Structure 1
Amino acid sequence: MRALWAGELVPPEPRRAATVMLLRDGPFGGAPVEVYLLRRRASMAFGAGAHAYPGGGVDPRDEEWDDAAGWSGPDRSRWAARLGVSESVAQSIVCAAVRETFEESGVLLAGPHGGGVVADTTGDDWEVDRRALVDRELSFSDFLARRRLVLRSELLAPWTRWITPEFESRRYDTWFFVAALPVGQRARNASTEADRTLWTAPGEAYAGYRRGELLMMPPTAATLRELAESVGSAEPEAVRTVADGRDLSPVLARTRREDGQIVIHWPGYEEFEKRMPDPDAGGGAEERR
Protein backbone atom coordinates (compact mmCIF):
# COMPACT_ATOMS: atom_id res chain seq x y z
CA MET A 1 0.00 0.00 0.00
CA ARG A 2 2.92 2.36 0.72
CA ALA A 3 4.21 1.80 -2.82
CA LEU A 4 0.77 2.60 -4.22
CA TRP A 5 0.60 5.85 -2.29
CA ALA A 6 4.12 6.76 -3.43
CA GLY A 7 3.23 6.15 -7.07
CA GLU A 8 5.72 3.29 -7.27
CA LEU A 9 3.10 0.60 -7.89
CA VAL A 10 0.82 0.24 -10.89
CA PRO A 11 -2.33 -1.60 -9.75
CA PRO A 12 -2.92 -4.84 -11.66
CA GLU A 13 -5.84 -4.76 -14.07
CA PRO A 14 -8.84 -6.49 -12.47
CA ARG A 15 -10.02 -9.69 -14.11
CA ARG A 16 -13.70 -9.81 -15.03
CA ALA A 17 -15.69 -12.27 -12.96
CA ALA A 18 -19.24 -13.21 -12.04
CA THR A 19 -20.87 -14.76 -9.01
CA VAL A 20 -24.42 -15.95 -8.37
CA MET A 21 -26.50 -15.73 -5.22
CA LEU A 22 -28.61 -18.88 -5.53
CA LEU A 23 -31.90 -18.61 -3.63
CA ARG A 24 -34.50 -21.14 -2.56
CA ASP A 25 -37.61 -21.14 -0.38
CA GLY A 26 -37.05 -21.36 3.36
CA PRO A 27 -37.79 -24.66 5.12
CA PHE A 28 -41.12 -23.47 6.53
CA GLY A 29 -43.97 -21.49 5.06
CA GLY A 30 -43.37 -17.76 5.36
CA ALA A 31 -39.72 -18.23 6.34
CA PRO A 32 -37.10 -16.01 4.68
CA VAL A 33 -35.56 -17.23 1.48
CA GLU A 34 -32.27 -19.05 1.85
CA VAL A 35 -29.04 -18.35 0.00
CA TYR A 36 -26.33 -20.85 -0.91
CA LEU A 37 -22.83 -20.24 0.46
CA LEU A 38 -19.59 -22.14 0.19
CA ARG A 39 -16.48 -21.76 2.35
CA ARG A 40 -13.24 -21.41 0.46
CA ARG A 41 -10.45 -23.73 1.57
CA ALA A 42 -7.76 -22.27 3.82
CA SER A 43 -5.18 -23.12 1.15
CA MET A 44 -6.74 -20.78 -1.44
CA ALA A 45 -4.61 -17.83 -2.56
CA PHE A 46 -7.62 -15.49 -2.62
CA GLY A 47 -10.31 -15.31 0.06
CA ALA A 48 -8.93 -18.24 2.06
CA GLY A 49 -11.43 -19.47 4.65
CA ALA A 50 -14.07 -16.96 3.57
CA HIS A 51 -17.69 -17.78 2.84
CA ALA A 52 -18.71 -16.78 -0.68
CA TYR A 53 -21.12 -17.55 -3.50
CA PRO A 54 -20.39 -19.81 -6.46
CA GLY A 55 -18.49 -17.84 -9.06
CA GLY A 56 -15.24 -17.21 -10.86
CA GLY A 57 -13.44 -15.55 -13.71
CA VAL A 58 -14.53 -15.03 -17.30
CA ASP A 59 -13.31 -17.48 -19.94
CA PRO A 60 -12.14 -15.43 -22.97
CA ARG A 61 -13.73 -18.02 -25.26
CA ASP A 62 -17.16 -16.93 -24.05
CA GLU A 63 -16.76 -13.58 -25.82
CA GLU A 64 -16.43 -15.37 -29.15
CA TRP A 65 -19.60 -17.47 -28.91
CA ASP A 66 -21.97 -16.48 -31.73
CA ASP A 67 -24.72 -19.11 -31.55
CA ALA A 68 -27.89 -17.04 -31.13
CA ALA A 69 -29.97 -20.23 -30.95
CA GLY A 70 -28.12 -21.25 -27.79
CA TRP A 71 -29.25 -18.19 -25.85
CA SER A 72 -32.66 -17.26 -24.44
CA GLY A 73 -33.95 -14.30 -22.48
CA PRO A 74 -32.72 -10.71 -22.93
CA ASP A 75 -30.43 -10.51 -25.94
CA ARG A 76 -26.81 -9.40 -25.79
CA SER A 77 -27.61 -5.77 -26.52
CA ARG A 78 -29.99 -5.55 -23.55
CA TRP A 79 -27.47 -7.20 -21.26
CA ALA A 80 -24.76 -4.83 -22.54
CA ALA A 81 -26.94 -1.82 -21.75
CA ARG A 82 -27.77 -3.13 -18.28
CA LEU A 83 -24.18 -4.03 -17.35
CA GLY A 84 -22.64 -0.98 -19.01
CA VAL A 85 -20.22 -2.95 -21.20
CA SER A 86 -19.93 -4.10 -24.81
CA GLU A 87 -22.12 -6.92 -26.11
CA SER A 88 -19.26 -9.41 -26.24
CA VAL A 89 -18.16 -8.58 -22.70
CA ALA A 90 -21.75 -8.78 -21.44
CA GLN A 91 -22.08 -12.20 -23.06
CA SER A 92 -18.89 -13.42 -21.39
CA ILE A 93 -20.04 -12.18 -17.97
CA VAL A 94 -23.43 -13.89 -18.22
CA CYS A 95 -21.75 -17.07 -19.47
CA ALA A 96 -19.30 -16.93 -16.56
CA ALA A 97 -22.18 -16.62 -14.10
CA VAL A 98 -23.93 -19.71 -15.47
CA ARG A 99 -20.79 -21.76 -16.09
CA GLU A 100 -19.15 -21.07 -12.72
CA THR A 101 -22.38 -21.82 -10.86
CA PHE A 102 -22.50 -25.21 -12.56
CA GLU A 103 -18.80 -25.85 -11.93
CA GLU A 104 -18.98 -25.03 -8.22
CA SER A 105 -22.48 -26.13 -7.20
CA GLY A 106 -23.75 -28.47 -9.92
CA VAL A 107 -26.68 -26.11 -10.59
CA LEU A 108 -27.21 -25.38 -14.28
CA LEU A 109 -29.28 -22.43 -15.51
CA ALA A 110 -29.88 -23.94 -18.93
CA GLY A 111 -32.46 -26.14 -20.60
CA PRO A 112 -33.63 -27.74 -23.84
CA HIS A 113 -34.59 -25.63 -26.84
CA GLY A 114 -38.28 -26.25 -26.27
CA GLY A 115 -38.20 -24.46 -22.93
CA GLY A 116 -37.71 -25.30 -19.27
CA VAL A 117 -34.57 -26.07 -17.30
CA VAL A 118 -32.51 -29.22 -16.87
CA ALA A 119 -34.05 -31.18 -14.00
CA ASP A 120 -31.05 -33.19 -12.81
CA THR A 121 -27.29 -32.83 -13.27
CA THR A 122 -26.04 -35.47 -10.85
CA GLY A 123 -25.23 -38.31 -13.26
CA ASP A 124 -21.70 -39.52 -14.01
CA ASP A 125 -21.87 -38.12 -17.55
CA TRP A 126 -22.68 -34.67 -16.17
CA GLU A 127 -19.73 -34.92 -13.81
CA VAL A 128 -17.39 -35.71 -16.70
CA ASP A 129 -18.54 -32.57 -18.50
CA ARG A 130 -18.34 -30.46 -15.33
CA ARG A 131 -14.74 -31.53 -14.76
CA ALA A 132 -13.87 -30.77 -18.39
CA LEU A 133 -15.27 -27.26 -17.93
CA VAL A 134 -13.29 -26.75 -14.72
CA ASP A 135 -10.09 -27.90 -16.43
CA ARG A 136 -10.86 -25.68 -19.45
CA GLU A 137 -10.74 -28.72 -21.71
CA LEU A 138 -14.26 -27.86 -22.86
CA SER A 139 -15.67 -24.43 -23.64
CA PHE A 140 -19.07 -23.54 -22.25
CA SER A 141 -20.50 -22.97 -25.72
CA ASP A 142 -19.33 -26.42 -26.86
CA PHE A 143 -20.80 -27.94 -23.71
CA LEU A 144 -24.20 -26.39 -24.41
CA ALA A 145 -24.11 -27.36 -28.08
CA ARG A 146 -23.16 -30.95 -27.31
CA ARG A 147 -25.96 -31.20 -24.77
CA ARG A 148 -28.38 -29.34 -27.08
CA LEU A 149 -29.10 -26.85 -24.34
CA VAL A 150 -29.94 -23.16 -24.26
CA LEU A 151 -28.46 -20.74 -21.73
CA ARG A 152 -31.40 -19.23 -19.81
CA SER A 153 -30.19 -15.68 -19.25
CA GLU A 154 -33.68 -14.68 -18.11
CA LEU A 155 -33.11 -16.68 -14.92
CA LEU A 156 -30.42 -14.21 -13.85
CA ALA A 157 -30.79 -10.68 -12.53
CA PRO A 158 -27.78 -8.42 -11.85
CA TRP A 159 -27.57 -7.19 -8.27
CA THR A 160 -24.33 -5.23 -7.85
CA ARG A 161 -20.73 -4.88 -9.00
CA TRP A 162 -17.61 -4.76 -6.81
CA ILE A 163 -13.97 -4.25 -7.82
CA THR A 164 -11.11 -5.52 -5.66
CA PRO A 165 -9.09 -2.65 -4.11
CA GLU A 166 -6.10 -1.35 -6.05
CA PHE A 167 -3.59 -2.41 -3.39
CA GLU A 168 -4.47 -6.12 -3.71
CA SER A 169 -2.21 -8.32 -5.84
CA ARG A 170 -5.19 -10.33 -7.17
CA ARG A 171 -7.98 -8.12 -8.43
CA TYR A 172 -11.43 -8.92 -9.81
CA ASP A 173 -14.16 -6.84 -11.39
CA THR A 174 -17.11 -8.92 -10.23
CA TRP A 175 -20.77 -8.73 -11.19
CA PHE A 176 -23.14 -10.27 -8.64
CA PHE A 177 -26.35 -11.90 -9.86
CA VAL A 178 -29.37 -13.45 -8.16
CA ALA A 179 -31.13 -16.58 -9.40
CA ALA A 180 -33.69 -19.00 -8.02
CA LEU A 181 -32.65 -22.64 -7.65
CA PRO A 182 -34.33 -24.46 -10.58
CA VAL A 183 -37.04 -26.94 -9.67
CA GLY A 184 -35.65 -30.46 -9.46
CA GLN A 185 -32.01 -29.42 -9.15
CA ARG A 186 -30.01 -29.46 -5.94
CA ALA A 187 -26.80 -27.70 -5.04
CA ARG A 188 -23.85 -29.75 -3.88
CA ASN A 189 -20.23 -29.11 -3.02
CA ALA A 190 -18.84 -29.81 -6.47
CA SER A 191 -15.87 -27.48 -6.09
CA THR A 192 -12.38 -28.51 -5.01
CA GLU A 193 -11.98 -24.91 -3.81
CA ALA A 194 -14.54 -25.27 -0.99
CA ASP A 195 -14.57 -27.40 2.15
CA ARG A 196 -18.09 -26.57 3.33
CA THR A 197 -21.44 -25.47 1.90
CA LEU A 198 -24.66 -24.34 3.52
CA TRP A 199 -28.10 -22.94 2.84
CA THR A 200 -28.99 -20.13 5.23
CA ALA A 201 -31.22 -17.08 5.52
CA PRO A 202 -29.29 -13.99 4.35
CA GLY A 203 -29.98 -12.18 7.62
CA GLU A 204 -28.68 -15.09 9.68
CA ALA A 205 -25.49 -15.29 7.62
CA TYR A 206 -24.90 -11.55 7.96
CA ALA A 207 -25.48 -11.76 11.71
CA GLY A 208 -22.93 -14.58 11.86
CA TYR A 209 -20.45 -12.34 10.07
CA ARG A 210 -21.08 -9.50 12.52
CA ARG A 211 -20.54 -11.86 15.46
CA GLY A 212 -17.25 -13.03 13.98
CA GLU A 213 -18.52 -16.57 13.40
CA LEU A 214 -18.44 -16.49 9.59
CA LEU A 215 -15.48 -15.05 7.73
CA MET A 216 -16.48 -13.03 4.66
CA MET A 217 -15.06 -10.39 2.38
CA PRO A 218 -16.99 -7.09 2.28
CA PRO A 219 -18.89 -7.78 -0.98
CA THR A 220 -20.38 -11.01 0.38
CA ALA A 221 -21.38 -9.48 3.71
CA ALA A 222 -22.82 -6.40 2.00
CA THR A 223 -24.95 -8.37 -0.44
CA LEU A 224 -26.24 -10.63 2.34
CA ARG A 225 -27.35 -7.57 4.29
CA GLU A 226 -28.98 -6.10 1.19
CA LEU A 227 -30.79 -9.35 0.46
CA ALA A 228 -32.05 -9.56 4.03
CA GLU A 229 -33.32 -5.98 3.88
CA SER A 230 -34.81 -6.22 0.40
CA VAL A 231 -36.44 -9.61 -0.01
CA GLY A 232 -37.64 -10.68 3.45
CA SER A 233 -39.97 -13.64 2.94
CA ALA A 234 -40.44 -13.01 -0.79
CA GLU A 235 -40.36 -16.02 -3.06
CA PRO A 236 -37.01 -16.59 -4.80
CA GLU A 237 -38.56 -15.96 -8.22
CA ALA A 238 -39.72 -12.52 -7.04
CA VAL A 239 -36.21 -11.42 -6.13
CA ARG A 240 -35.42 -10.70 -9.78
CA THR A 241 -38.08 -7.99 -9.65
CA VAL A 242 -36.35 -6.49 -6.61
CA ALA A 243 -33.09 -6.48 -8.58
CA ASP A 244 -34.56 -4.49 -11.47
CA GLY A 245 -33.28 -0.96 -11.49
CA ARG A 246 -30.55 -1.48 -8.89
CA ASP A 247 -27.52 0.75 -9.35
CA LEU A 248 -24.66 -1.22 -10.92
CA SER A 249 -22.02 1.47 -10.52
CA PRO A 250 -18.87 -0.34 -9.34
CA VAL A 251 -18.06 -0.31 -5.64
CA LEU A 252 -14.34 0.32 -5.17
CA ALA A 253 -12.47 0.84 -1.92
CA ARG A 254 -10.75 4.13 -1.23
CA THR A 255 -7.86 4.76 1.13
CA ARG A 256 -6.95 7.88 3.03
CA ARG A 257 -4.39 9.02 5.57
CA GLU A 258 -5.92 10.46 8.68
CA ASP A 259 -4.49 11.23 12.12
CA GLY A 260 -1.56 8.85 11.82
CA GLN A 261 -3.61 6.04 10.34
CA ILE A 262 -4.37 4.55 6.94
CA VAL A 263 -8.12 4.23 6.55
CA ILE A 264 -9.65 1.82 4.02
CA HIS A 265 -13.31 2.45 3.30
CA TRP A 266 -15.96 1.54 0.76
CA PRO A 267 -18.23 4.53 -0.06
CA GLY A 268 -21.76 3.69 1.03
CA TYR A 269 -20.59 0.73 3.11
CA GLU A 270 -19.04 2.34 6.18
CA GLU A 271 -19.43 -0.81 8.30
CA PHE A 272 -16.39 -2.27 6.53
CA GLU A 273 -14.03 0.61 7.29
CA LYS A 274 -10.59 -0.54 8.43
CA ARG A 275 -7.85 1.44 10.14
CA MET A 276 -4.18 0.62 10.54
CA PRO A 277 -1.09 2.53 11.69
CA ASP A 278 0.49 4.69 9.00
CA PRO A 279 4.27 4.10 9.06
CA ASP A 280 4.80 7.36 7.17
CA ALA A 281 2.38 9.44 9.22
CA GLY A 282 2.79 13.13 8.68
CA GLY A 283 -0.49 14.45 10.01
CA GLY A 284 -3.47 15.85 8.15
CA ALA A 285 -5.70 13.93 5.77
CA GLU A 286 -5.24 12.74 2.20
CA GLU A 287 -7.34 10.35 0.11
CA ARG A 288 -6.88 8.24 -2.98
CA ARG A 289 -8.76 5.41 -4.60
Structure 2
Amino acid sequence: MTTDRGYPVPATLVEHALRFQESGAAPAVPRMAATVLLLRPAGDGFEVYLIRRVAAMAFGGMYAFPGGGVDPSDSTAHLDWAGPDPAGWGDRLGLAPQAAQAVVCAAAREVFEEAGVLLAGPDPDRIVGDVSDDGWEAARVELEQRRRGFAELLAGRGLTLRSDLLLPWSRWVTPEFEPRRFDTYFFVALLPEGQRTRDVSGEADHTLWARPADACDRAVAGELTMLPPTLITLGEIAACADLAAVARAAATRDAATPITPQLDLTGPDGPRFYLP
Protein backbone atom coordinates (compact mmCIF):
# COMPACT_ATOMS: atom_id res chain seq x y z
CA MET A 1 0.00 0.00 0.00
CA THR A 2 1.50 3.35 -1.09
CA THR A 3 0.37 6.95 -0.78
CA ASP A 4 2.47 8.57 -3.54
CA ARG A 5 -0.09 7.64 -6.17
CA GLY A 6 -3.06 8.11 -3.89
CA TYR A 7 -5.92 5.70 -3.41
CA PRO A 8 -8.40 4.34 -5.97
CA VAL A 9 -11.86 5.90 -6.23
CA PRO A 10 -14.98 3.78 -6.87
CA ALA A 11 -16.91 4.87 -9.97
CA THR A 12 -20.00 5.78 -7.97
CA LEU A 13 -18.02 8.33 -5.96
CA VAL A 14 -16.64 9.90 -9.14
CA GLU A 15 -20.26 10.33 -10.27
CA HIS A 16 -21.14 11.95 -6.93
CA ALA A 17 -18.20 14.35 -7.24
CA LEU A 18 -19.10 15.38 -10.78
CA ARG A 19 -22.74 15.96 -9.87
CA PHE A 20 -21.69 18.02 -6.88
CA GLN A 21 -19.37 20.19 -9.00
CA GLU A 22 -22.08 20.78 -11.57
CA SER A 23 -24.77 21.58 -9.00
CA GLY A 24 -22.90 24.35 -7.17
CA ALA A 25 -24.64 23.16 -4.00
CA ALA A 26 -23.29 23.72 -0.50
CA PRO A 27 -21.69 20.65 1.14
CA ALA A 28 -23.94 18.60 3.41
CA VAL A 29 -23.31 19.00 7.14
CA PRO A 30 -21.50 15.89 8.44
CA ARG A 31 -23.38 13.74 10.92
CA MET A 32 -21.48 12.56 14.00
CA ALA A 33 -20.71 8.83 13.89
CA ALA A 34 -18.56 6.13 15.44
CA THR A 35 -17.02 2.91 14.17
CA VAL A 36 -15.22 0.09 15.98
CA LEU A 37 -12.37 -2.16 14.86
CA LEU A 38 -13.06 -5.41 16.68
CA LEU A 39 -9.83 -7.36 17.15
CA ARG A 40 -9.16 -10.92 18.30
CA PRO A 41 -6.00 -13.00 18.83
CA ALA A 42 -4.98 -15.25 15.93
CA GLY A 43 -1.84 -17.36 16.19
CA ASP A 44 1.09 -15.06 16.86
CA GLY A 45 -0.87 -12.01 15.70
CA PHE A 46 -4.46 -10.84 15.52
CA GLU A 47 -7.43 -10.44 13.20
CA VAL A 48 -9.91 -7.63 12.55
CA TYR A 49 -13.62 -7.92 11.77
CA LEU A 50 -14.88 -6.45 8.48
CA ILE A 51 -18.36 -6.14 7.04
CA ARG A 52 -19.47 -5.32 3.50
CA ARG A 53 -22.32 -2.82 3.38
CA VAL A 54 -25.36 -3.83 1.32
CA ALA A 55 -25.59 -2.02 -2.01
CA ALA A 56 -28.64 0.04 -1.02
CA MET A 57 -26.82 1.74 1.87
CA ALA A 58 -24.53 4.76 1.88
CA PHE A 59 -21.10 3.46 0.79
CA GLY A 60 -22.78 0.21 -0.28
CA GLY A 61 -20.50 -2.55 -1.53
CA MET A 62 -17.59 -1.23 0.53
CA TYR A 63 -15.86 -3.18 3.28
CA ALA A 64 -15.81 -1.28 6.55
CA PHE A 65 -15.97 -1.76 10.32
CA PRO A 66 -19.19 -1.97 12.37
CA GLY A 67 -20.51 1.48 13.14
CA GLY A 68 -23.03 4.17 12.36
CA GLY A 69 -24.43 7.56 13.18
CA VAL A 70 -24.92 9.00 16.65
CA ASP A 71 -28.54 8.68 17.76
CA PRO A 72 -30.22 11.52 19.72
CA SER A 73 -30.65 9.14 22.66
CA ASP A 74 -26.88 8.61 22.84
CA SER A 75 -26.34 12.13 24.20
CA THR A 76 -29.15 12.04 26.75
CA ALA A 77 -28.64 8.55 28.13
CA HIS A 78 -28.13 8.20 31.88
CA LEU A 79 -26.32 4.95 32.51
CA ASP A 80 -23.73 3.28 34.69
CA TRP A 81 -20.34 4.06 33.19
CA ALA A 82 -16.88 2.52 33.63
CA GLY A 83 -13.70 4.11 32.34
CA PRO A 84 -12.97 7.78 31.61
CA ASP A 85 -15.88 10.07 32.40
CA PRO A 86 -17.48 12.12 29.59
CA ALA A 87 -15.21 15.08 30.37
CA GLY A 88 -12.15 12.84 30.07
CA TRP A 89 -13.44 11.44 26.80
CA GLY A 90 -14.09 14.99 25.64
CA ASP A 91 -10.46 15.91 26.25
CA ARG A 92 -9.33 12.93 24.19
CA LEU A 93 -11.81 13.38 21.34
CA GLY A 94 -11.80 17.17 21.17
CA LEU A 95 -15.50 17.38 22.08
CA ALA A 96 -17.72 18.77 24.78
CA PRO A 97 -18.51 16.15 27.46
CA GLN A 98 -22.08 15.52 26.30
CA ALA A 99 -21.00 15.10 22.67
CA ALA A 100 -18.16 12.81 23.73
CA GLN A 101 -20.58 10.64 25.71
CA ALA A 102 -22.80 10.42 22.65
CA VAL A 103 -19.94 9.24 20.43
CA VAL A 104 -18.78 6.61 22.94
CA CYS A 105 -22.36 5.39 23.48
CA ALA A 106 -22.86 5.22 19.71
CA ALA A 107 -19.71 3.13 19.32
CA ALA A 108 -20.85 0.60 21.94
CA ARG A 109 -24.45 0.58 20.71
CA GLU A 110 -23.55 0.14 17.04
CA VAL A 111 -21.12 -2.72 17.62
CA PHE A 112 -23.88 -4.54 19.50
CA GLU A 113 -26.51 -3.78 16.85
CA GLU A 114 -24.30 -4.72 13.89
CA ALA A 115 -22.03 -7.44 15.25
CA GLY A 116 -23.81 -8.77 18.34
CA VAL A 117 -20.90 -7.81 20.62
CA LEU A 118 -21.70 -6.09 23.92
CA LEU A 119 -19.07 -3.97 25.69
CA ALA A 120 -20.75 -4.00 29.10
CA GLY A 121 -20.57 -5.91 32.35
CA PRO A 122 -22.19 -6.34 35.77
CA ASP A 123 -19.59 -4.02 37.30
CA PRO A 124 -16.59 -1.90 36.19
CA ASP A 125 -14.23 -4.90 36.34
CA ARG A 126 -16.20 -7.59 34.51
CA ILE A 127 -17.82 -8.06 31.12
CA VAL A 128 -20.73 -10.19 30.01
CA GLY A 129 -20.09 -13.48 28.23
CA ASP A 130 -22.13 -14.97 25.40
CA VAL A 131 -24.99 -12.68 24.30
CA SER A 132 -26.31 -14.73 21.38
CA ASP A 133 -29.29 -16.49 22.93
CA ASP A 134 -32.90 -15.71 22.00
CA GLY A 135 -33.41 -13.29 24.87
CA TRP A 136 -30.38 -11.21 23.98
CA GLU A 137 -31.27 -11.32 20.29
CA ALA A 138 -34.77 -9.99 21.03
CA ALA A 139 -33.20 -7.16 23.04
CA ARG A 140 -30.79 -6.39 20.19
CA VAL A 141 -33.64 -6.22 17.67
CA GLU A 142 -35.59 -3.87 19.94
CA LEU A 143 -32.53 -1.64 20.14
CA GLU A 144 -31.93 -1.74 16.39
CA GLN A 145 -35.55 -0.83 15.69
CA ARG A 146 -35.40 2.00 18.26
CA ARG A 147 -38.13 0.43 20.37
CA ARG A 148 -35.73 0.51 23.31
CA GLY A 149 -32.79 2.75 24.18
CA PHE A 150 -29.28 1.51 24.87
CA ALA A 151 -29.29 2.89 28.42
CA GLU A 152 -32.64 1.22 29.10
CA LEU A 153 -31.32 -2.10 27.81
CA LEU A 154 -28.25 -1.96 30.05
CA ALA A 155 -30.17 -0.75 33.12
CA GLY A 156 -32.77 -3.48 32.70
CA ARG A 157 -30.04 -6.11 32.96
CA GLY A 158 -28.04 -4.32 35.65
CA LEU A 159 -25.07 -3.68 33.37
CA THR A 160 -22.38 -1.01 33.23
CA LEU A 161 -21.09 0.42 29.95
CA ARG A 162 -17.39 -0.48 29.73
CA SER A 163 -16.12 2.63 27.95
CA ASP A 164 -12.60 1.65 29.03
CA LEU A 165 -12.72 -1.20 26.48
CA LEU A 166 -12.88 1.32 23.63
CA LEU A 167 -9.53 2.82 22.60
CA PRO A 168 -9.75 5.95 20.42
CA TRP A 169 -7.76 5.75 17.21
CA SER A 170 -8.63 8.48 14.66
CA ARG A 171 -11.27 10.81 13.24
CA TRP A 172 -12.33 10.97 9.57
CA VAL A 173 -14.74 13.32 7.80
CA THR A 174 -16.44 12.40 4.51
CA PRO A 175 -15.37 14.55 1.51
CA GLU A 176 -17.58 17.54 0.70
CA PHE A 177 -18.99 16.12 -2.54
CA GLU A 178 -20.78 13.23 -0.83
CA PRO A 179 -24.55 13.74 -0.39
CA ARG A 180 -24.36 11.93 2.96
CA ARG A 181 -21.40 12.93 5.11
CA PHE A 182 -20.14 11.65 8.44
CA ASP A 183 -17.72 12.93 11.07
CA THR A 184 -16.61 9.53 12.31
CA TYR A 185 -14.55 8.60 15.34
CA PHE A 186 -12.64 5.33 14.96
CA PHE A 187 -12.08 3.09 18.01
CA VAL A 188 -10.38 -0.26 18.53
CA ALA A 189 -11.68 -2.91 20.95
CA LEU A 190 -10.76 -6.48 21.80
CA LEU A 191 -13.51 -9.04 21.22
CA PRO A 192 -14.63 -9.97 24.77
CA GLU A 193 -13.86 -13.50 25.91
CA GLY A 194 -16.89 -15.74 25.49
CA GLN A 195 -18.53 -13.51 22.89
CA ARG A 196 -18.61 -13.98 19.12
CA THR A 197 -19.46 -11.75 16.21
CA ARG A 198 -22.71 -12.47 14.41
CA ASP A 199 -23.97 -11.20 11.04
CA VAL A 200 -27.26 -9.94 12.41
CA SER A 201 -28.01 -6.36 11.42
CA GLY A 202 -29.17 -6.72 7.83
CA GLU A 203 -26.82 -3.87 6.85
CA ALA A 204 -24.10 -6.24 5.62
CA ASP A 205 -24.13 -8.88 2.90
CA HIS A 206 -20.76 -10.39 3.83
CA THR A 207 -18.52 -10.46 6.90
CA LEU A 208 -15.04 -11.80 7.57
CA TRP A 209 -12.20 -11.94 10.05
CA ALA A 210 -8.80 -11.24 8.49
CA ARG A 211 -5.29 -10.30 9.51
CA PRO A 212 -4.98 -6.55 8.84
CA ALA A 213 -2.02 -6.94 6.48
CA ASP A 214 -3.87 -9.61 4.49
CA ALA A 215 -6.96 -7.40 4.23
CA CYS A 216 -4.77 -4.54 2.96
CA ASP A 217 -3.20 -6.78 0.34
CA ARG A 218 -6.60 -7.99 -0.82
CA ALA A 219 -7.86 -4.42 -1.05
CA VAL A 220 -4.86 -3.28 -3.08
CA ALA A 221 -5.38 -6.28 -5.39
CA GLY A 222 -9.00 -5.20 -5.92
CA GLU A 223 -10.50 -8.19 -4.12
CA LEU A 224 -11.94 -6.09 -1.28
CA THR A 225 -13.34 -2.65 -2.06
CA MET A 226 -12.82 -0.08 0.67
CA LEU A 227 -12.41 3.65 1.10
CA PRO A 228 -9.21 5.35 2.35
CA PRO A 229 -10.24 5.58 6.02
CA THR A 230 -10.69 1.81 6.19
CA LEU A 231 -7.62 0.94 4.14
CA ILE A 232 -5.33 3.38 5.95
CA THR A 233 -6.55 2.32 9.38
CA LEU A 234 -5.96 -1.32 8.51
CA GLY A 235 -2.41 -0.41 7.47
CA GLU A 236 -1.85 1.42 10.74
CA ILE A 237 -2.90 -1.46 12.95
CA ALA A 238 -1.09 -3.94 10.69
CA ALA A 239 2.12 -2.17 11.73
CA CYS A 240 1.49 -3.34 15.32
CA ALA A 241 3.09 -6.69 16.14
CA ASP A 242 0.37 -7.79 18.57
CA LEU A 243 -2.67 -6.62 20.49
CA ALA A 244 -0.52 -5.13 23.26
CA ALA A 245 1.22 -3.02 20.63
CA VAL A 246 -2.17 -1.85 19.32
CA ALA A 247 -3.11 -0.67 22.81
CA ARG A 248 0.20 1.15 23.22
CA ALA A 249 -0.23 2.84 19.85
CA ALA A 250 -3.81 3.87 20.66
CA ALA A 251 -2.63 5.64 23.81
CA THR A 252 -0.61 8.13 21.76
CA ARG A 253 -2.94 8.56 18.78
CA ASP A 254 -4.49 11.92 17.82
CA ALA A 255 -8.19 11.04 17.80
CA ALA A 256 -9.42 14.64 17.75
CA THR A 257 -8.02 16.16 14.54
CA PRO A 258 -10.29 15.35 11.58
CA ILE A 259 -8.86 13.93 8.35
CA THR A 260 -10.71 14.46 5.07
CA PRO A 261 -9.52 12.66 1.90
CA GLN A 262 -9.17 14.99 -1.08
CA LEU A 263 -10.30 13.85 -4.53
CA ASP A 264 -8.26 14.62 -7.65
CA LEU A 265 -10.27 13.92 -10.81
CA THR A 266 -7.61 15.04 -13.29
CA GLY A 267 -4.40 13.23 -12.32
CA PRO A 268 -2.39 11.07 -14.75
CA ASP A 269 -3.51 7.90 -12.97
CA GLY A 270 -7.17 8.84 -13.17
CA PRO A 271 -9.36 9.82 -10.20
CA ARG A 272 -7.49 9.29 -6.92
CA PHE A 273 -7.94 10.14 -3.27
CA TYR A 274 -5.08 11.90 -1.50
CA LEU A 275 -4.63 12.84 2.13
CA PRO A 276 -4.19 16.53 2.96
TM-score by length of 2: 0.88
SS in 1 for 2:129: coil
Partner of 1:61: 73
- One of 40, 59, 62 as aligned partner of 1:50: 62
* Matches of 2:269 and 2:248, distance apart in 1: 42
What is aligned with 1:40?
Answer: 53
Aligned to 1:25: 41
8 Å CA contact retained: 2:264, 2:274: no
> Are 1:144 and 1:151, in contact at CA under 8 Å, matched by a contact in 2?
yes
Deviations 1:39-76, CA, capped at 9 Å, x for gaps: 1122x231211111111111111111234xx1000111
Map of 2:167 onto structure 1? 157
Between the aligned partners of 1:154 and 1:205, the Cα distance in structure 2 is 27
* Structure number with higher strand proportion: 1
Task: Give the C-alpha shift of residue 217 in structure 1.
Answer: 1.4
Pick the aligned partner of 1:194 from 170, 190, 204: 204
Distance 1:168 1:187 in 2: 30
Tell me if the contact between 1:179 and 1:240 (Cα under 8 Å) persists in the aligned partners.
no
Post-superposition Cα deviations, 1:105-140, rounded to whole Å, max 9, x if no partner, equal 111110002631000101111011100111111111
Contact 1:55/1:100, CA 8 A, preserved across alignment: yes
Letter in 1 for 2:27: P
Counterpart of 1:243?
Answer: 250
Written as runs of structure 1 = structure 2, the 5 A alignment for 1:61-140 is: 61-67=73-79, 70-113=80-123, 115-140=125-150
Q: How far 1:17 moved relative to its partner?
A: 0.6
Change (3 A) 1:259 1:23: closer
Q: What percentage of aligned pairs have identical amino acids?
A: 46
Which 10-residue stretch deviates more, 239-248 or 192-201?
239-248
Q: 1:125 to 1:252 in 2, by over 3 A?
A: same
Letter of the 1:155 counterpart: L
Unmatched runs of 5 consecutive residues or more in structure 1:
269-289
1:39 partner amino acid: R
Q: Which has the higher contact order (CA 8 A, sep 6+)?
A: 2
**Which whole-Å CA distance do the structure 2 matches of 1:65 and 1:119 have between them?**
24
Residues of 2 paired with 1:134 and 1:115: CA distance? 27
Unaligned runs of 5+ in 2: 1-16
Distance 1:8 1:149, change over 3 A: same
| Distance in 2, Cα, partners of 1:145 & 1:21 | 26
- Label 1:161 to 1:195 Cα distance change in 2 as closer, same or farther (>3 A): same
Q: Which protein has the larger Cα radius of gyration, Structure 1 or Structure 2?
A: 1
User: How far apart are 1:263 and its partner, in Å?
Assistant: 5.9
Taking structure 1 as the reference length, what is the TM-score of the superposition?
0.84
Amino acid at match of 1:265: F
**Alignment RMSD, CA only?**
2.1
